[in-house]
Amino acid sequence: MRFTRLLLAPLALCMASPAFAADNYELDKSHTRILFYVNHLGFSDTIGDMTKYDGSFTFDEKDPSKSSVTLSLDPTGIRTSSEALDKHLQNADFFNTEKFPKITFTSTAVKVTGENTGEVTGDMTLLGVTKPVTLKVTFNKGDYHPYTKSYVAGFSGSTSFKRSDFGMAYGIPNVSDEVKLEFELEGINLDRKKAEEIAK
Protein backbone atom coordinates (compact mmCIF):
# COMPACT_ATOMS: atom_id res chain seq x y z
CA MET A 1 0.00 0.00 0.00
CA ARG A 2 2.84 2.39 0.87
CA PHE A 3 4.48 1.65 -2.49
CA THR A 4 1.20 2.39 -4.31
CA ARG A 5 0.87 5.70 -2.51
CA LEU A 6 4.39 6.66 -3.52
CA LEU A 7 3.57 5.93 -7.15
CA LEU A 8 0.33 7.88 -7.02
CA ALA A 9 1.63 10.90 -5.13
CA PRO A 10 3.49 12.63 -8.00
CA LEU A 11 0.52 12.13 -10.32
CA ALA A 12 -1.90 13.47 -7.73
CA LEU A 13 0.23 16.53 -7.10
CA CYS A 14 0.44 17.26 -10.81
CA MET A 15 -3.31 16.89 -11.23
CA ALA A 16 -3.87 19.27 -8.33
CA SER A 17 -1.41 21.86 -9.60
CA PRO A 18 -2.97 25.07 -10.94
CA ALA A 19 -0.45 24.89 -13.78
CA PHE A 20 -2.58 22.12 -15.30
CA ALA A 21 -6.14 22.96 -14.28
CA ALA A 22 -8.23 25.26 -12.15
CA ASP A 23 -8.23 24.06 -8.55
CA ASN A 24 -11.34 23.96 -6.38
CA TYR A 25 -11.53 26.24 -3.35
CA GLU A 26 -13.92 26.65 -0.45
CA LEU A 27 -14.40 30.01 1.24
CA ASP A 28 -12.58 30.53 4.51
CA LYS A 29 -15.35 32.42 6.29
CA SER A 30 -13.13 33.41 9.18
CA HIS A 31 -11.06 35.48 6.74
CA THR A 32 -13.73 36.64 4.28
CA ARG A 33 -15.75 39.88 4.51
CA ILE A 34 -18.43 41.25 2.19
CA LEU A 35 -19.54 44.88 2.71
CA PHE A 36 -21.83 47.23 0.81
CA TYR A 37 -22.07 51.03 0.91
CA VAL A 38 -25.15 53.17 0.16
CA ASN A 39 -25.08 56.94 0.44
CA HIS A 40 -27.50 58.40 2.99
CA LEU A 41 -28.81 61.91 2.19
CA GLY A 42 -25.33 62.98 1.11
CA PHE A 43 -24.18 62.96 4.74
CA SER A 44 -22.36 59.63 4.80
CA ASP A 45 -22.38 56.09 3.47
CA THR A 46 -24.41 53.53 5.35
CA ILE A 47 -22.35 50.34 5.57
CA GLY A 48 -23.89 46.89 5.52
CA ASP A 49 -22.07 43.70 6.47
CA MET A 50 -23.22 40.52 4.68
CA THR A 51 -22.72 37.95 7.43
CA LYS A 52 -24.58 34.99 5.91
CA TYR A 53 -23.26 33.56 2.66
CA ASP A 54 -22.01 30.42 0.95
CA GLY A 55 -19.81 30.01 -2.07
CA SER A 56 -16.93 28.38 -3.82
CA PHE A 57 -14.59 29.11 -6.68
CA THR A 58 -12.07 27.56 -9.02
CA PHE A 59 -8.78 29.29 -9.69
CA ASP A 60 -6.02 28.66 -12.19
CA GLU A 61 -2.96 30.71 -11.24
CA LYS A 62 -1.36 30.12 -14.65
CA ASP A 63 -4.47 31.01 -16.66
CA PRO A 64 -6.97 32.90 -14.46
CA SER A 65 -9.40 33.18 -17.38
CA LYS A 66 -10.27 29.53 -16.71
CA SER A 67 -11.43 30.37 -13.18
CA SER A 68 -15.00 30.67 -11.93
CA VAL A 69 -17.01 31.64 -8.85
CA THR A 70 -20.48 31.05 -7.42
CA LEU A 71 -21.87 32.90 -4.43
CA SER A 72 -25.16 32.85 -2.53
CA LEU A 73 -26.00 35.62 -0.05
CA ASP A 74 -28.74 35.53 2.59
CA PRO A 75 -30.06 39.10 3.16
CA THR A 76 -31.37 38.21 6.62
CA GLY A 77 -27.74 38.25 7.69
CA ILE A 78 -27.21 41.93 6.83
CA ARG A 79 -25.92 43.93 9.77
CA THR A 80 -25.65 47.73 9.92
CA SER A 81 -25.16 50.07 12.89
CA SER A 82 -28.95 50.18 13.40
CA GLU A 83 -31.14 47.26 14.49
CA ALA A 84 -34.19 49.16 13.22
CA LEU A 85 -32.61 49.49 9.78
CA ASP A 86 -31.60 45.82 9.79
CA LYS A 87 -35.26 44.96 10.31
CA HIS A 88 -36.50 47.45 7.71
CA LEU A 89 -34.14 46.01 5.09
CA GLN A 90 -36.00 42.69 5.30
CA ASN A 91 -39.39 44.00 4.14
CA ALA A 92 -40.76 44.76 0.68
CA ASP A 93 -39.17 48.23 0.57
CA PHE A 94 -35.77 46.64 0.18
CA PHE A 95 -34.79 42.95 0.07
CA ASN A 96 -38.25 41.43 0.61
CA THR A 97 -36.61 38.38 2.15
CA GLU A 98 -39.82 36.47 2.76
CA LYS A 99 -40.34 36.23 -1.01
CA PHE A 100 -36.71 36.38 -2.15
CA PRO A 101 -34.49 34.67 0.46
CA LYS A 102 -31.31 34.59 -1.64
CA ILE A 103 -29.07 36.83 -3.72
CA THR A 104 -26.88 34.84 -6.11
CA PHE A 105 -23.89 35.52 -8.33
CA THR A 106 -22.56 33.08 -10.93
CA SER A 107 -19.58 34.04 -13.04
CA THR A 108 -19.77 33.82 -16.82
CA ALA A 109 -16.31 35.12 -17.80
CA VAL A 110 -12.96 36.08 -16.28
CA LYS A 111 -10.75 38.66 -18.01
CA VAL A 112 -7.13 39.29 -17.03
CA THR A 113 -6.41 43.04 -16.88
CA GLY A 114 -2.94 43.13 -15.28
CA GLU A 115 -0.26 41.08 -13.58
CA ASN A 116 -2.45 40.45 -10.53
CA THR A 117 -5.78 41.99 -11.55
CA GLY A 118 -8.83 40.86 -13.43
CA GLU A 119 -12.52 41.37 -14.09
CA VAL A 120 -15.04 38.70 -13.19
CA THR A 121 -18.32 39.14 -15.05
CA GLY A 122 -21.35 37.20 -13.95
CA ASP A 123 -25.10 37.05 -13.50
CA MET A 124 -26.43 38.49 -10.25
CA THR A 125 -29.99 37.69 -9.22
CA LEU A 126 -31.64 40.06 -6.75
CA LEU A 127 -35.40 40.29 -6.07
CA GLY A 128 -35.93 37.73 -8.84
CA VAL A 129 -34.23 39.92 -11.46
CA THR A 130 -31.01 38.77 -13.13
CA LYS A 131 -28.52 41.30 -14.52
CA PRO A 132 -24.82 41.18 -15.47
CA VAL A 133 -22.39 42.58 -12.89
CA THR A 134 -18.60 42.90 -13.20
CA LEU A 135 -16.28 42.51 -10.21
CA LYS A 136 -12.85 44.16 -10.27
CA VAL A 137 -10.55 41.69 -8.53
CA THR A 138 -6.96 41.72 -7.29
CA PHE A 139 -5.15 38.45 -6.60
CA ASN A 140 -3.16 39.15 -3.44
CA LYS A 141 -1.32 35.90 -2.83
CA GLY A 142 -1.36 32.14 -3.20
CA ASP A 143 0.73 30.12 -0.76
CA TYR A 144 0.71 27.55 2.00
CA HIS A 145 -0.68 28.85 5.27
CA PRO A 146 2.09 28.79 7.91
CA TYR A 147 -0.24 27.49 10.64
CA THR A 148 -2.90 25.33 8.97
CA LYS A 149 -0.54 24.10 6.20
CA SER A 150 -3.42 24.40 3.71
CA TYR A 151 -2.84 26.11 0.36
CA VAL A 152 -4.69 29.44 0.43
CA ALA A 153 -5.51 32.00 -2.26
CA GLY A 154 -6.48 35.53 -1.23
CA PHE A 155 -8.30 38.24 -3.18
CA SER A 156 -9.65 41.77 -2.80
CA GLY A 157 -12.43 43.11 -4.99
CA SER A 158 -15.18 45.62 -5.61
CA THR A 159 -18.12 46.43 -7.85
CA SER A 160 -21.02 48.85 -8.08
CA PHE A 161 -24.52 48.63 -9.52
CA LYS A 162 -27.86 50.43 -9.51
CA ARG A 163 -30.35 48.80 -7.19
CA SER A 164 -33.22 50.23 -9.25
CA ASP A 165 -32.13 47.91 -12.10
CA PHE A 166 -33.30 45.07 -9.86
CA GLY A 167 -36.57 46.75 -8.83
CA MET A 168 -35.37 48.20 -5.51
CA ALA A 169 -36.31 51.88 -5.80
CA TYR A 170 -37.36 52.77 -2.26
CA GLY A 171 -35.89 56.04 -0.97
CA ILE A 172 -34.19 57.16 -4.18
CA PRO A 173 -32.63 59.74 -4.44
CA ASN A 174 -32.33 60.37 -0.67
CA VAL A 175 -30.88 56.90 -0.33
CA SER A 176 -28.58 56.45 -3.30
CA ASP A 177 -29.45 54.26 -6.24
CA GLU A 178 -25.82 53.23 -6.58
CA VAL A 179 -24.64 50.42 -4.33
CA LYS A 180 -20.90 49.94 -3.85
CA LEU A 181 -19.70 46.52 -2.78
CA GLU A 182 -16.26 45.51 -1.50
CA PHE A 183 -14.91 42.17 -0.38
CA GLU A 184 -11.84 40.54 1.11
CA LEU A 185 -11.73 36.82 0.46
CA GLU A 186 -9.59 33.82 1.28
CA GLY A 187 -10.15 30.38 -0.17
CA ILE A 188 -8.77 27.01 0.91
CA ASN A 189 -7.56 24.76 -1.89
CA LEU A 190 -9.44 21.47 -1.74
CA ASP A 191 -7.51 19.67 -4.49
CA ARG A 192 -4.08 20.14 -2.94
CA LYS A 193 -5.44 18.82 0.35
CA LYS A 194 -6.53 15.63 -1.40
CA ALA A 195 -3.19 15.24 -3.17
CA GLU A 196 -1.24 15.69 0.04
CA GLU A 197 -3.41 13.11 1.81
CA ILE A 198 -2.61 10.60 -0.92
CA ALA A 199 1.09 11.41 -0.66
CA LYS A 200 1.21 10.58 3.06
* 100-150 confidence digits (pLDDT tens): 999 999 999 999 999 999 999 999 999 999 999 999 999 999 999 999 999
CB count within 10 Å of CB 8 equals 14
| End-to-end Cα spacing for the chain | 11
State residue 165 phi and psi, 5-degree precision. -65, -20
Q: What is the pTM of this model?
A: 0.86
Using the predicted structure, report yes or no on whether residue 77 has a pLDDT greater than 60.
yes
| Structural fold of domain 22-191 | Lipocalin (2.40.128)
Nearest alpha-carbon partner for 90 in 127, 53, 130, 37: 127
* Residue 12 to residues 57, 144, 191, 196, 198, Cα–Cα distance (Å): 20, 17, 9, 8, 7
